[in-house]
Amino acid sequence: MSRKWTAFLVMLVLIFGSISTAAAASSTFTTKGNTSSKVVSLTFDDGSDGTNISKILNVLDRENVTATFFLTGSGANAHPESIRNIVRAGHEIANHSYSHPDFTTISPSQMRSELSRTESTIRTITGQSLAPLFRAPFGAVNSQVLQVVGDAGYTHTLHWNIDTLDWQGLSSSQVYNRIMSNMVPGSIVLMHTGVGASGTTDAISRAIPELKRQGYSFATVSQILGKTQQGSTHRVQAGDTLYSLAIRYGTTVNALVTENNISNVNALQIGQVLVLPGSGTPSPTPSPSEGTYTVKSGDTMYSIARRYNVTVSLLASSNNIANPSLIRTGQVLKIPGTGSPTTSKYTVKSGDTLYRIAVNNKVSVSALASANSISSPYLIFPGQTLTIPR
């Protein structure tokens, strides 16, 4: 009897094990965007030194271009402030492993460790998740790699169709020529941030204006894949709750839960991409004309402060709250500055970024984005009129 029972258990393990494996989706391998539109994604792989990050960020800021940075955990630990600067500037970040091994030569458990260690490192440094985008070290993948990566939550493995070979120390003219001679709609351009890529900064300084002249626009990898189009998805940020997102996008918590198969409404993850039901058009930031707000389930001081374009500290002091983490459902909060909300207007100029405008006006990027219903990655355009919250 014992032997039969053991055999039965083994059979169950084999059956359900095979079902589990078959049900898991492998990561989608992509080399370029499937589009006829003149759009290009600039991507930068960051390794151990990150020497040129600040120079690259300066060029992108000057040209008002948002890019995607593929980060290694070891590199992030070596220069954490540079990684924070990438995020502060509104660029997209993605996973590039921890120690940059060839994934086709290591075990599944080692792959998972590389991914999770990097995810943990970047969360600690920036508060953001790297999912669902991954780039394999050396671009080396096979079916097993894509399966393991997909199982880990990285639904897209990004390759490239333009390899600048900048890491070989090519001159800026050589890098520029490799970009321009291979450019097609939907291109994903591979570049690097390290000291070896000495020609990259000057190359993109020339390439970006020329591509603009040719009618190209720039997008993150997620955008070029159609994953973060405004009004269709939302990437969860610090302070977001399902309730605050439902209000912002004119939907309900239940609709968000159903659309995204969410089992725990209190377990949103920073960086998680939510599909927005219906039109998903963000509602204008509410005006605190009534002067009070009744706390609802799922609210946080951060989400309420951001909703009304005030700081958490000001909201707390206006309500004599010693611990901003302790608010309760049904509590009535006074919203400061309700007598005559103070805002100003700013017209976006060529070369502006949301980060630069926020710094110049002494407000946070998130407050500026919220006041203007701008979704990450904070794309703005010359001539656009922005409301500056005060």
Say which CATH number the domain at 356 has: 3.10.350.10
Q: What is the pLDDT of residue 13?
A: 45
The answer as to whether 72 is a domain residue is: yes
pLDDT one-digit tens code per residue, 79-133: 999 999 999 888 999 999 999 999 999 999 999 999 999 999 999 999 889 989 9
Contact 228/374 with Cβ under 8 angstroms?
no
Cβ-count burial 294-325 (b if 16+ within 10 Å, e if not)? ebeebbbbbbbbbbbbbbbeebbeebebeebe
Say yes or no to pLDDT of 377 above 60. no
Q: Are 200 and 165 in contact (CB under 8 A)?
A: no
Whether 45 is catalytic: yes
Is residue 380's pLDDT more than 60? yes
Sequence length of the chain is 390
Lowest mean pLDDT among 224-228, 311-315, 358-362: 224-228
Rounded mean pLDDT of 31-49? 92
pLDDT at 17: 43
Once rounded to an integer, what is the mean pLDDT over residues 204-212? 96
- Which of 45, 61, 240, 299 is catalytic? The answer is 45
Which residues, in sequence order, are CB contacts of 288 under 8 Å at separation 6+? 308, 335, 337, 338, 341
pLDDT in tens, 271-280: 677 776 654 3
Instruction: Report d(CA 52, CA 200) in Å as an integer.
Output: 9
* Better pLDDT: 216 or 303: 216
* Highest-scoring range by mean pLDDT, 141-155, 214-228, 262-276, 344-358: 141-155
306 and 165 assigned to the same domain: no
Residue 277 has what pLDDT? 65
Map the chain to HEC letters: CHHHHHHHHHHHHHHHHHHHHHHCCCCEEECCCCCCCCEEEEEEEECCCCCCHHHHHHHHHHHCCCCEEEECHHHHHHCHHHHHHHHHCCCEEEECCCCCCCHHHCCHHHHHHHHHHHHHHHHHHHCCCCCCEECCHHHCCCHHHHHHHHHCCCCEEECCCEECCHHHCCCHHHHHHHHHHCCCCCEEEEEECCCCCCCHHHHHHHHHHHHHHCCCEECCHHHHCCCCCCCCEEECCCCCCHHHHHHHCCCCHHHHHHHHCCCCCCCCCCCCEEECCCCCCCCCCCCCCCCEEECCCCCCHHHHHHHCCCCHHHHHHHCCCCCCCCCCCCCEEECCCCCCCCEEEEECCCCCCHHHHHHHCCCCHHHHHHHCCCCCCCCCCCCCEEEEEC
Residue 146 falls inside a structural domain: yes
Do 62 and 190 fall into the same domain? yes
Residues 197 and 255 occupy one common structural domain = no
Are 193 and 120 contained in the same domain? Answer: yes
The CATH number of whichever domain residue 205 belongs to comes to 3.20.20.370
Q: Are residues 243 and 151 in the same domain?
A: no
Residues 252 and 206 in one domain: no
Residue 337's pLDDT band, with cuts at 50, 70 and 90, is: low
| Contacts for 54 with CB less than 8 Å, ≥ 6 apart | 82, 85
Q: Is residue 90 part of a domain?
A: yes
Asked whether residue 366 is domain-assigned, the answer is yes
Please check whether residue 16 lies inside any domain of the structure: no
Q: Is residue 166 part of a domain?
A: yes
Range of the domain at 238: 233-275
This prediction has a pTM of 0.57
Q: What is the mean pLDDT of residues 178-200?
A: 96
**More confident call, 95 vs 361:** 95
Distance CA 90, CA 64 (A): 11
133-152 pLDDT, tens per residue? Answer: 999 999 999 999 999 999 99
- Number of domains, the chain: 4
Q: Which residues contact 150 (CB under 8 A, 6 or more apart)?
A: 24, 25, 26, 27, 28
Same domain (yes/no): 351, 328: no
Say if residue 176 is in the same domain as residue 196.
yes
User: In whole numbers, what is the pLDDT of the chain averaged over residues?
Assistant: 80
Question: Do 348 and 330 share a structural domain?
Answer: no
Does one domain contain both 314 and 380?
Answer: no
Task: Please give the share of the chain, as a percent, with pLDDT higher than 90.
Answer: 44
Residue 56 in any domain: the answer is yes
Do 245 and 141 have their domain in common? no
Say what the alpha-carbon torsion angle 204, 207, 208, 211 is, to the nearest 10 degrees. -160
**Marked catalytic residue, from 91, 192, 240, 352:** 192
Same domain (yes/no): 385, 298: no
Cα-only R_g, the chain: 23
- Domain-located, residue 7: no
